[in-house]
Amino acid sequence: MTDRTCLYCNESEAAIKASQRRRDPIYCAAVDYFGEVEWELARHRFRDWTDRELIEGWRVLPDYVDRYRRIRDAYEIDLVYKDTLSNGQKIEMRFSFDAYVYPRVTEIVASPSLLVYRGSKRKAWKKEGKATGPGGVEAFSVAIGMMKRAQVDIASMFRKIGNPVYIEVTGATPELFKIYRARLKRIGFIDAGDRDDLVHYKVDL
């Protein structure tokens, strides 16, 4: 017997097979803090995700599929969008995911980071951007397009598990954030109450 685990519930294949032989099967499911079932699937899955499943279902870029053969949740994936500006500079928006577990619900939060650079990406991360800096208005327009795509892709990634998902956007500086917030409102993002340093948007699944 292999030591593989189910990609959905993380139970070992050996334990599941043994429970089936005892006619007391371990179901593929998850329970919350109070012992109530959050989700349940008809079958366990032990085989790796295929290229097609990762690319079309999980929205993984083709170059990165081997990193995610045995992921269990979409928040384990870094969602990345890349483009090149007319001046030759590169722009990259990367989303990281965190899970926040509360007594009755687990919330997923997607946080984007934006990088516009020429040459070494490593050196570019050490510099703090300016709204009027490299790429200027063009970079911001491309970034807004990436945010629109991200709403659709993130909804697709998490639709099957049903957890509430939020996108949270902050800025490196107060000046940058004011510009971000104004433009994000135009594409349907909602402010988080009276906070002046965060856009907190619930994704429609």
In this predicted model, what pLDDT tens digit does every residue of 24-60 receive, in sequence order? 999 999 887 788 888 888 999 999 999 998 888 777 7
Label residue 132 by pLDDT band (50, 70, 90). Answer: very low
Same domain, 177 and 195: yes
User: Which pLDDT belongs to residue 20?
Assistant: 93
Region 114-138 average pLDDT? 61
User: Which pLDDT belongs to residue 56?
Assistant: 81
Region 167-194 average pLDDT? 71
The pLDDT tens digits of the residues spanning 96-106 come to 888 787 777 77
Same domain, 90 and 157: yes
Burial of 78 (0-12, 13-18, 19+ CB in 10 A): middle
- By residue range, what is the domain housing residue 118? 56-202
Same domain, 87 and 160: yes
Distance, in Å, from the CA atom of 28 to the CA atom of 6, rounded to the nearest integer, reads 8
Same domain, 165 and 118: yes
Same domain, 162 and 138: yes
Strands 165-169 and 106-117: parallel
Same domain, 69 and 150: yes
Pairwise pLDDT comparison (158 vs 6), residue with the higher score: 6
Same domain, 5 and 85: no
The pLDDT tens digits of the residues spanning 147-175 come to 888 888 888 877 777 778 888 887 667 77
Same domain, 155 and 63: yes
Please name the residue ranges forming H helices in 96-204: 121-124, 136-158, 174-186
- DSSP of 175-191: HHHHHHHHHHHHTT--B
Provide the greatest CA pair distance for the chain. Answer: 67
Same domain, 127 and 185: yes
Q: Is the pLDDT of residue 120 over 70?
A: no
- DSSP of 46-109: -SPPPHHIIIIIS---GGGGGGGTT--SGGGS-EEEEEE-TTS-EEEEEEEEEEEE-SS-EEEE
Label residue 2 by pLDDT band (50, 70, 90). Answer: low
Percent of the chain with pLDDT over 90: 14
Pairwise pLDDT comparison (101 vs 146), residue with the higher score: 146
Same domain, 100 and 28: no
User: Which pLDDT belongs to residue 172?
Assistant: 63
Same domain, 80 and 42: no
Label residue 123 by pLDDT band (50, 70, 90). Answer: low
Domain boundary among 9, 29, 47: 47
Same domain, 27 and 84: no
User: Which pLDDT belongs to residue 13?
Assistant: 92
Number of domains in the chain: 2
